Structure 1
């Protein structure tokens, strides 16, 4: 019974909401958790038979599993999306999630790297190996453009406008945006293409993908994570680092240096300015240094 609802919901997310495969999968996993709970509780009722109390108990069950408040809020968002689909498809008359309360979230400052730390990570790349030039181009592009890792691995050669200093990025919900790209990244992409990529045997269908593995296929998100983790370790940086750290650093460095928040929102591809506003909560050390540098009352 629930498999039919899940299939319909999956089609709705893809066709009506135009969500990327990763987002679709995340929403489906939320509903999978719900059906797991209902099965465990012996109440695998249809969506129109579930009451707000049933869903409240599900959220409580998720909390008892030890999930963070942020994870709980995301699952609740998935539930609301599912019931929006159910209302539109007339599977239910009323949305039982309307009165459900989301856990209160604190705004977490994203982990960032200093420019010097990014330079150390890039310097740790072994350029004597064929993948070295590619990895340097990857890191330069991540930091120069603030890309999501899914945007990076899907970046196409036909979307590079390097003479104009821009790339076209396919972001969440298949939304396109133009992002400026810096000279270092442009130079390294051209080195990678001319010395490494042009000599590879490329798998059919991947001819337009920029970054390839040694077999001529598209890199995975996990591979990017492993590359960055290994380089950070080699550079002696102990922070918890992921590809997203480069995106956070890109945005934080822009805001710290006075960039307009709307421009940063556009470059990051954030739908809402409130998502970008997290970067205005700069770390205390940066604020302290700014005060000592520019406020007369703090100068020695």
Structure 2
């Protein structure tokens, strides 16, 4: 008797109990940690050495190492960090590398292909940089634990980060993109610009029932950004008429007040990336812009025009005004230039200063 693995991946030790001679299977779960425990138990029972009936894989699968790494980090990392790591690995990295890809084969050439694939999907270099850093961390850890003899990706340099500041769209750019936007995108970018809603959980969730044109204001529920659970944002006077026209369009289509304002022929909208990229290209805009930058425009133009910081922060859903200033005020060179002009000028007469010192 010795160590075995079932078809479902579970490792177990099969042996006969001393005294009774009854056959017993002792299970240890799945993955590389389970295999290690099964082998240790095999040695403890002084059973015969385990001989592979099939050729042994050169190394564990990368997904197995990720699982072991995650288990080892429980209690050592913040729960939120573990949650983000698991989401990133299980949702992005492992599917891109392959569910049954051996960790020892994650070479620089494999990572080059990974980076190329992610870039072609429109992922930011900064995001890819973090993913490569996590992959290398898992591989380094697996070497220290003895799961790998060496890190096959040693020396690989991730792509440079692209954390550059993206200036919000100008009014001209806003109008050009709007002119080439399909109806659902036009609604989305207009509502985001006039209210500062976050594209995604906030923007897509707004229904006609959340709009009150008699106040006029829109009720915004939290996008789970650690901010207020809900907030009311006044509607710009120039925007009210357009909202009313869109409302009647949806009513004529047979939709009720529970219909999302941002909808595509009555269906919920989950992403704007493709439509936005097309409208941006048709508008002749080549610089980097994202749907999120319409929210940036809302904040930046308010602050540029001396809007109250606390009110702006509350409409953005921030709990602290320093969050608003940190994220948005630095995006405008004009604001810095205006601030500099407030600095009192000195009267510097170089001739008088030189004569005073006898020079």
TM over 0.5: yes
Matched, 1:109 2:165: yes
Aligned partners of 1:28 and 1:261: how far apart in 2?
40
Aligned partners of 1:34 and 1:275: how far apart in 2?
36
Residues 65 and 108 of structure 1, relative CA distance in 2, 3 Å threshold: same
Give the 3-state SS of the residue equivalent to 1:112 in structure 2: coil
How many matched pairs? 238
TM-score (norm 2): 0.49
Residues 217 and 234 of structure 1, relative CA distance in 2, 3 Å threshold: same
For the 8 Å contact 1:171–1:177, the answer to whether it is kept is no
Residues 249 and 68 of structure 1, relative CA distance in 2, 3 Å threshold: same
Deviations 1:59-97 (A, max 9, x none): xx89x958845554578799xxxxxxxxxxxxxxxxxxx
CA RMSD of aligned residues (A): 5.0
- Matched with 2:317 is 269
- Matched with 2:204 is 153
* 1:265 shift after superposition: 3.6
Give the 3-state SS of the residue equivalent to 1:243 in structure 2: coil
Residues 111 and 27 of structure 1, relative CA distance in 2, 3 Å threshold: farther
Who wins on radius of gyration, i.e. which is larger? Answer: 2
For the 8 Å contact 1:148–1:243, the answer to whether it is kept is no
Residues 68 and 255 of structure 1, relative CA distance in 2, 3 Å threshold: same
1:218 to 256, 261, 268: 268
* 1:154 shift after superposition: 2.2
TM-score (norm 1): 0.57
Aligned partners of 1:184 and 1:248: how far apart in 2?
20
1:118 to 157, 171, 174: 174
2:276 to 220, 228, 238: 228
Residues 154 and 207 of structure 1, relative CA distance in 2, 3 Å threshold: same
Aligned partners of 1:166 and 1:158: how far apart in 2?
9
Deviations 1:32-71 (A, max 9, x none): 489969964359xxxxxxxxxxxxxxxxx89x95884555
Give the 3-state SS of the residue equivalent to 1:163 in structure 2: coil
| Unmatched runs of 5 consecutive residues or more in structure 2 | 1-30, 32-62, 72-78, 106-110, 117-123, 136-159, 347-359
